[in-house]
Structure formats: structure tokens, C-alpha cells
Amino acid sequence: MRYDASQALSFSLDGEDLLFNPGDTILQAAHRGGRYIPHLCWHPDFAPHGSCRLCTVKVNGRTGSACTIQAAAGIEVESNTEELNAHRKTLLQMLFVEGNHFCPSCEKSGHCALQATAYQMGMEGPHFEEFYPTRPMDASHPDLLLDFNRCILCGLCARASSEIDGKNVFAIGGHGMGTHLVVNSPSGQLGDTDMAATDRAASICPVGVILPKRRGFVIPIGERPYDKQSPADVEAELAAGGTT
């Protein structure tokens, strides 16, 4: 939904007025207005998860998550600042070293929100020592491959599976360093669930964990959304009704 003209509320985002609808979070308002606030665990179709912290902004000088804080008339929100982008770069570097992200060999390269956001934030290397965790792959499903090495625990697949597909195929389990993606079947294998390649959960992953089989590199490297556009441009296009 676009703006309700009878209630023209606005707040300031990086010094420019932004309209919002009553009930919007700051990130919802920014998305609707085609303004980019970096995010990984948020998606316009789902309730916020608040886990990745990429969307951290300053609201009247206090830090908080743009995906969970309600917009309010007259507030001053800072997002695109050197300080906040440096913080985002550090979070991204931590995500990269926690998993095994080898972009040049990843089928999702050029279509990966983690990779694109890292470029956007000027990340040139991992900075921290790589963990190189041992994580499994699951090829048990006839049409889908799971590569747990790239999971950033955004929870989008779990929300899509339960809220849209009505299946509860995925969950986030464990605590702290042991937090991990869980497949809800007696064997823990995707092939033992009722997941279908047409499920929303099959196409929601912002990185290269849930991949369709037999379609690798159908869209060549160089012709993928983030090969041509920044996340900010993709966001603006989506807000204008486009698709990626």
C-alpha cells in the first residue's frame, strides 16, 4: 500500500523528509519510499526478525533497529553515516567469517544480498580470522539442495515456510555459537519433508543455502541483479513495482 493522503505523516531520514503510513516501521517507510537502509533478515512480506542488526540507525541520537522501531512524525533518523556504515561493515565481516562464503564458486553470486551489501559497505576483506566451520550439505530432496555453509540465520525460510507455505519445514535451533538451521523431519533431511520447489521458502533465501537443482547458472554471472545494480537501486526498483 502506498501512502494514505489523508494522513500525510513524515519524518526525516538522513536529512530528507520521508512519508509514512501509521503503523509503519522506519524500514517499511524507507522501503516504500525507495530509500535504502541496509538489511538482511527483513523482507517486506514478513514480520521483522530483528536478528542481523544491519538496519541499525540512530533515532533522535539513539541507536536501534529500523526494522522494529515504529516511524513517528518528526523524528530524525540517521542511517547513511560513516559511523553506522562502519558498524555494518564489521557485522558483515563477522557473518562472512562465521560461515563458509566462497563467492566466486557460489551459484548465488550476483543474486546474494550478503555479497551485495558487503560491496555496498565497501568491504574488501574478512578482517577477522575465518572460522571455517564444518557444516553439512543436504542433497536428499529431488529438486532442492541445501548448503548450510552459507546460512546467516536470518530466519526468512522458517517464516516463509510457516506463514505462507503452512509447512514449518525450517526452524532456527541452538544457542549462541551453536545456533543453526534445522530441518523439521525425523531424519533432519530435506528429502523427508513435504517441501516443494514451488514453495515460497524455496526462493526466499537471501544467500546461497536453498538452491534449486538442475538450474545452476541458468542466468549467467554478469547478468544477475546485483551484477548490474546496487542493493539501493534494486530496492528503489522494487518500491516502484519492479521485480528482480
Looking at 26, 67, 69, 77, which residue binds ligand FES (CB under 6 A)? Answer: 67
CB of 37 to ligand FES, least distance (A): 8
CA distance 35 to 81: 14
Q: Does 41 bind ligand FES (CB under 6 A)?
A: yes
207 binds, among ligand FES, ligand SF4, none (CB under 5 to 8 A by kind): ligand SF4
Q: Does 195 bind ligand SF4 (CB under 6 A)?
A: no
Q: Does 42 bind ligand FES (CB under 6 A)?
A: yes
53 binds, among ligand FES, ligand SF4, none (CB under 5 to 8 A by kind): ligand FES
Q: Does 57 bind ligand SF4 (CB under 6 A)?
A: no
For the chain, the three-class secondary structure string (H helix, E strand, C coil) is CCCCHHHCEEEEECCEEEEECCCCEHHHHHHHCCCCCCCCCCCCCCCCCCCCCCCEEEECCEEEECCCCECCCCCEEECCCHHHHHHHHHHHHHHHHHCCCCHHHCCCCCCCHHHHHHHHCCCCCCCCCCCCCCCCEECCCCCEEEEHHHCCCCCHHHHHHHHHHCCCCEEEECCHHHCEEEECCCCCCHHHCCCCCCCHHHCCCCCCCEEECCCCCCCCCCCCHHHHCCHHHHHHHHHCCCCC
Q: Does 52 bind ligand FES (CB under 6 A)?
A: yes
Residues that bind ligand SF4 (rule: CB under 6 A) add up to a total of 14
Which residue, 37 or 114, has its beta carbon nearer to ligand SF4?
Answer: 114
Write each residue from 136 to 165 as x if it is in contact with ligand SF4 (CB under 6 A), else as -, in one continuous string.
---------------xxxxxxx--------
In the block, cell 509447512 appears at 167
18 binds, among ligand FES, ligand SF4, none (CB under 5 to 8 A by kind): none
**Cα Rg, the chain, nearest whole Å:** 18
Q: Is 192:78 a contact under the CB 8 Å cutoff?
A: no
Q: Is 143:194 a contact under the CB 8 Å cutoff?
A: no
Residues that bind ligand FES (rule: CB under 6 A) add up to a total of 12
Q: Does 58 bind ligand FES (CB under 6 A)?
A: no
Which residue, 89 or 150, has its beta carbon nearer to ligand SF4?
Answer: 150
Q: Does 51 bind ligand FES (CB under 6 A)?
A: yes
**Contact window for ligand SF4 (CB under 6 A) among 69-77, 97-105, 201-209, 223-231:** 201-209
| Interface positions with ligand SF4 (CB under 6 A) | 151-157, 170, 181, 204-205, 207, 209-210
| Interface positions with ligand FES (CB under 6 A) | 39-42, 50-55, 65, 67
